[in-house]
Amino acid sequence: AYKVIMAPAVIKSDEVRKELSEGLAQILDLEYEEVYEKASQNSQYVIIARRIDKEVADKVSEFIVSDPDYSAVVTLTEDTKRYYPNGNLLSTVLGFVGTDNQGLEGLEYSYDEYLKGSDGKQVAIKTSVGTVMPFAYEKVIEPEDGATLQLTIDLEIQSLLEKHIENARVEHNVQNRIAGIVYDIKTGEVLGMTSKPDYDPNNPFVINDELTLEALSAYSGQEYIDKYNEYLATFRTNKAIEQYEPGSTFKIITAAMALEEGVVDLAETFNCVGYLKIGSIMVRCAKRQGHGVETFKDGLANSCNPVFMTLAERIGPEKFYDYITIFGFREKTNVGLPGEQSGYHYAKGTMTALNLANSSFGQSFKITGMQLVAAVSSVANDGKYMQPYIIKSITDSDGKVIMQNSPTVVRQTVSESTSDILCEYLEYTVAKSATSFLAGYRMAGKTGTSQKLDTLANNGEDNGKRIASFICFAPADDPQVCILVVVDEPDSEVQYGSYIAAPLGRDIMADVLDYLGVEPDYGDGESVKDVTVPDVEDMDYIDAQTELGKLNIRTTVIGTGDTVVYQLPAKGTVVPEGSDVILYTEQGYEEDTQTVVPNLVGKPASECNLLLVDSNLNIKVVGSNLSYSNVVAVSQSIEPGTTVSKGTVVTVTFEKTDSPLQDLQ
């Protein structure tokens, strides 16, 4: 770019000063008074404009050479302009620079001393009339190039992440932003990180988000300006390193504590009646009627609060406090980003029984998304807590390495045996969920739906504001990648993490694993085992769920009774593992046993699975069952629109195709 410099001290007359000011103001799109004020200074060096492009610089050049009085006063010099070729991409991580190329936000700010370098200078002595003295009086100071930062961010993964995050923000009309992190479990490298809405660092003082601009149209005058600036300041922050209530995603950590301390037997059962009394206070489960008798494994899959409150009581406040520290929730992760917050939790001596109970399922305290990703990744990584980092290296202009990060084990959070159990149980948790199931991969994870306690009214009345989140890792038997999505205040009738966040995290994982070339476990669909549905009629529905769970069969209970009076599919039906059996616990079920087969052709596996689940049907995959954008259903065993019994298995054939989806529908 170019810089316009003036030496107003040598301007011959006020008439020339006015002509110069008028001409430059017009070319540079500046106010005449502003230019005239600068042209009136008694100085040999005044900057009139910075970082103008060549087209404007050429016009300035034509203007100043038109008159010797102008060219004696105004000069054009080369300048540099920070340019971000990918616009909004990664903006809340990168930050931006000010008018002097000084870093103002993000990495630009925190690593400014490395990035900025120094300008070169040519110092000369001039006579009183502006003539440069002989060369003997000149001194040249050579410029120094700034250093180069190489990030751990993978541009393709970042693009995939931002695409999915932005789509989800629009779909669910998210009121308080949405964040996502993609993390390398083995190394601690941040492969992708975003917060939406964000901004374009090329124009950091302009909001370019259409939904926000639409919301701003309701304001005017000073109120509009204040609201605009409020939004702008928020969009520059990195939500992934800010505090939030984790909700049930934190149950992974509580489960790890319980296993590590040996306070839970994998074979024991818990009886959830829908609540647990802590002193005189009744703390409820999300399932108000209760889960009934369940194992630890099912308690995790069911996200049962009473199970985890019971475990926390066994762990005790002192040990719970110690593990909060071991997992890194009391300090910043030092991932290398400015503005990172640390979590906050109760002090060891002040944690009450109620505090402990609420903490067990991720309420009443705050952590950051980066902290949770690092902690859960340690559980997946045989207990090894890796130092998170986003700066791979810093090198000078000669290629000399100034600083370099490499994979570093910080500490052991849990044993390998605890890690193995939780990888298996969290895979089971995902397999039981229709919204997080990822065809073709062994994915583990946990959803969360947290109440924003600091937004409650003074009387404690619930205002309905929720945070929906999902943390997952894959492949479950050899974890490589961990993904977290945090959706703050979705404007949706259903705000559960299982509904809002799980499909989002699942779809991001599908694209990331595809890009990384991680081979699917069930590529041909044949390695998914078929199982025979047993007879569970006349059994207590809890016992029926347990019996079916042993065969990796999911269940849906319809009715308020305790005994199974009818089941679909019927006993003896062969279904793929992971299928769903409907258990009716009330008479009068006859009118509720039929459903209509949806049209699946042209749709990806994840969407087919959801459509069939919504219709109470089961899926059997044939061919490639990958959940990538170029793998779609090409045929289905039962024609769309056919009325069948609920629980019926629909065989769907998937193939890779380059054809537009509409051509297949």
The catalytic residues are 248
DSSP 3-state of 52: strand
Whether 168 and 199 have beta carbons less than 8 Å apart is answered as no
CA-based torsion, 455, 457, 459, 460: positive or negative: negative
Give residue 536's identity as a one-letter amino acid code: V
Nearest to 503, CA basis, from 478, 483, 476, 529: 483
- Dist. CA 83–CA 80, nearest whole Å: 9
Q: What is the largest CA-CA distance in the chain?
A: 108
- Dist. CA 271–CA 304, nearest whole Å: 10
What residues are paired with 582 via a beta bridge? 556, 568
Task: Spell out the SS3 assignment of 236-298.
Answer: CCCHHHCEECCHHHHHHHHHHHHHHHCCCCCCCEEEECCEEEECCEEEECCCCCCCEEEEHHH
DSSP 3-state of 102: coil
Name the one residue in this structure whose structure tokens are 């990664």: 90
Element (H, E) at 46: strand 46-52
- For 324-432, where are the E strands, in sequence order? 367-368, 384-386, 391-395, 401-404, 409-412
- Dist. CA 84–CA 170, nearest whole Å: 25
First to last CA, the chain: 51
Strands 618-623 and 649-656: what pairing?
A: parallel
What residues are paired with 118 via a beta bridge? 144
Range 173-199 burial, b when 16+ CB lie within 10 A, else e: ebebbbbbbbbbbbbbbbbbbbbbbbb
Q: What is the four-CA torsion angle of 78, 84, 86, 87, rounded to 10 degrees? A: -110
